[in-house]
């Protein structure tokens, strides 16, 4: 392993100075975040079961504070490591070529791969908005589930989500967010599989298609919620 450039003796920090270890950590944390997207989606899709579905889900979750906080701690760790390494790798790549190319050529480079830092930034900024919206519940306080209760006395997550997405501005913010998530995931999954040595020359086209399918599925499944609410299908 190459010595850490800052001379730090801590082996944990040396990992962050090794390019291969950095790529591997980016891949592992990225896959962990995609797994979160799927778990969160299952919870969100319970909205289609009506107030009984998502309100019961919300209440069950919040009746288990140790589980919720352990889950949040894991998620924060994944996010911090992934974002920090993402910024570090981007800055290092920029420093490695200080003079701009006379003509930019992107061989086998896609829109998704070129814009990873920007889609990552959009995801981060709107994630803060999302947490203020649905966890802290300060964006639409008049329909906050912490104060509104359903007929069974449970926090009314259903009304909070439906009344929020009826506002076109809020739905548009989420649409932009999902677009950024899908673009980021499409390159992220593909690149993670390569880093982990799973995608060889032969299997590369298959993994490319798999990454696109994952991104398309995440986009369609998540955007279906604001879309069906705006269309009046979910009321
Ligand atoms: C239509 C799309 C979405 C809906 C309806 C939705 C709904 C919710 C709700 C209701 C909560 C509050 C959970 C609670 O505090 O009990 C929440 C929290 C959260 N959501 Fe989403 N979400 C959506 C998309 C996303 C996406 C795409 C991401 C990630 C990029 C995401 C990440 C999070 C995170 C990190 C939390 C905080 C979890 C926590 O407080 O423990 N959400 N979401």
pLDDT along the chain (235 residues), means of 10: 46 72 94 97 97 96 94 98 94 73 52 95 98 97 95 96 98 98 96 85 87 97 98 96
Tell me the residue length of the chain.
235
Domain-embedded: residue 7: no
Q: How far is the CA of 135 from the centre of ligand 1 (A)?
A: 8
Domain housing 165: 17-96+109-230
- Residue 20 has a pLDDT of 86
pTM (2 decimals)? 0.89
At 107 the pLDDT is: 37
Answer yes or no: is the C-beta of 144 below 6 A from any ligand 1 atom.
no
For the record, the structure tokens of 157 come out as 């997550």
Residue 104 located in a structural domain = no
**Would residue 150 count as lying in a domain?**
yes
Of 148, 131, 154, 139, nearest in space to 53 by CA? 154
Q: Is the C-beta atom of 114 inside 6 A of ligand 1?
A: no
Residue 235 lies in a domain: no
- Rounded to the nearest angstrom, the distance between the alpha carbon of 196 and the centre of ligand 1 is 28
**What CATH number does the domain containing 52 carry?**
1.20.1300.10
Asked whether residue 4 is assigned to any structural domain, the reply reads no
Q: Is the CB of 220 under 6 A from ligand 1?
A: no
Q: How far is the CA of 41 from the centre of ligand 1 (A)?
A: 9
Question: What is the torsion angle, in degrees rounded to the nearest 10, for the CA atoms of residue 135, residue 138, residue 140 and residue 144?
Answer: 50
Q: Are 173 and 122 in contact (CB under 8 A)?
A: no
Number of domains the chain is built from: 1
How far does residue 132's CA lie from ligand 1's centre (Å)?
10
Work out the number of other CB atoms within 10 angstroms of the CB of residue 49.
Answer: 13
Confirm whether 9 is domain-assigned: no
């Amino acid at each position: 392993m190459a010595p850490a450039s800052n001379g730090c003796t801590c082996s944990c920090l040396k990992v962050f100075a090794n390019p291969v270890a950095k790529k591997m950590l980016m891949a592992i944390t990225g896959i962990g975040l995609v797994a979160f997207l799927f778990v969160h989606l299952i919870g969100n899709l319970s909205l289609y079961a009506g107030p009984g579905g998502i309100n019961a889900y919300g209440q069950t979750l919040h009746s288990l504070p140790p589980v919720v906080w352990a889950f949040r701690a894991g998620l924060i760790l994944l996010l911090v490591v992934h974002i920090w390494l993402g910024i570090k790798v981007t800055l290092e790549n920029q420093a490695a070529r200080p003079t701009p190319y006379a003509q930019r050529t992107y061989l086998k480079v896609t829109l998704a791969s070129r814009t990873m830092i920007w889609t990552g930034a959009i995801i981060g900024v709107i994630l803060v908005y999302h947490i203020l919206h649905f966890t802290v519940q300060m964006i639409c306080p008049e329909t906050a589930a912490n104060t509104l209760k359903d007929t069974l006395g449970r926090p009314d997550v259903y009304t909070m989500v439906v009344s929020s997405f009826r506002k076109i501005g809020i739905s548009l913010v989420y649409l932009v967010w999902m677009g950024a998530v899908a673009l980021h995931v499409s390159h992220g999954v593909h690149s993670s599989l390569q880093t982990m040595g799973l995608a060889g020359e032969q299997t590369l086209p298959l993994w490319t298609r798999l990454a696109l399918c994952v991104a398309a599925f995440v986009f369609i499944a998540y955007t279906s919620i604001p879309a069906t609410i705006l269309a009046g299908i979910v009321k």
